[in-house]
Amino acid sequence: MGNQMTEMLKGTLEGIVLAILAARPAYGYEITARLREQGFSDIVEGTVYALLVRIEQRGLVDVEKIPSEKGPPRKVYSLNTQGREQLREFWRTWSFLAGRIDQLRTDTTHDTAHHTEEGDK
């Protein structure tokens, strides 16, 4: 799936990260680990951190600095009210798109089968 998966993820990764944070607060590495557990093995930490900066700037998350045993404090991200609304909008949009794409796939599969049957005559 490689490159096509990467391109599709670019538009959906924010919603996926918001969904992860809706379950419980997390810090950057933890979010990356959860993504990998879900099968998104090609996602690099840098991509997640850049996205976290953007969603923090947009006011979708609250950030709490938690002291770390090693190095600087960790930034723990939690979804706030605005982030939850953004996530609801993401799911509405996702449902709409998934429904249309499924319909296209069904129509295309049906048309392909129909054309094959006609070609066999």
Q: What is the pLDDT of residue 31?
A: 96
d(CA 16, CA 20): 6
The residues of the chain scoring below 70 in pLDDT are 1-2, 110-121
Q: Residue 23 in contact with residue 37, Cβ under 8 Å?
A: no
49 SS3 class: helix
